[in-house]
């Protein structure tokens, strides 16, 4: 389940899917949108603590510091 949530957040943040599709991936109904928002906030907070930067798709982009 945690991998499904990770994928849903990743796809939602990359604008590949919309919020209702992300909620379907996580198994939430339409009235549980606040649960997805809490999961996203928790994921971003943990990501920042681990990586010491905000969550972005930089791992697939060229890092400007490596030029």
Residue 27 lies in a domain: yes
In a domain, 40, yes or no: yes
Residue 18 counted as domain residue? yes
pLDDT tens for the 67 residues of the chain, in order? 788 888 888 888 888 999 899 999 988 888 887 888 888 888 878 777 776 666 665 554 555 565 4
CA neighbor of 16 nearest in space, from 57, 50, 54, 44? 57
66 lies in some domain:
no
Within a domain: residue 48? yes
Domain assignment present for 39: yes
Range(s) of the domain holding residue 6:
2-53
Look at residue 64 and tell me if it is in a domain. no
pLDDT recorded at residue 64: 54
pTM, two decimals, is 0.64
User: Looking at the 3D structure of the chain, how many domains does it have?
Assistant: 1
Give Cα 65 to chain centroid, integer Å.
24
Closest C-alpha to 33, from 16, 45, 21: 21
């Amino acid at each position: 389940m945690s991998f499904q949530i990770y994928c849903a957040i990743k796809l939602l943040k990359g604008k590949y899917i919309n919020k209702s599709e992300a909620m379907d991936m996580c198994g939430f109904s339409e009235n549980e949108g606040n649960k997805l928002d809490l999961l996203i906030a928790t994921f971003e907070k943990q990501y920042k603590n681990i990586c010491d930067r905000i969550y972005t798709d930089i791992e697939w982009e060229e890092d400007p510091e490596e030029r």
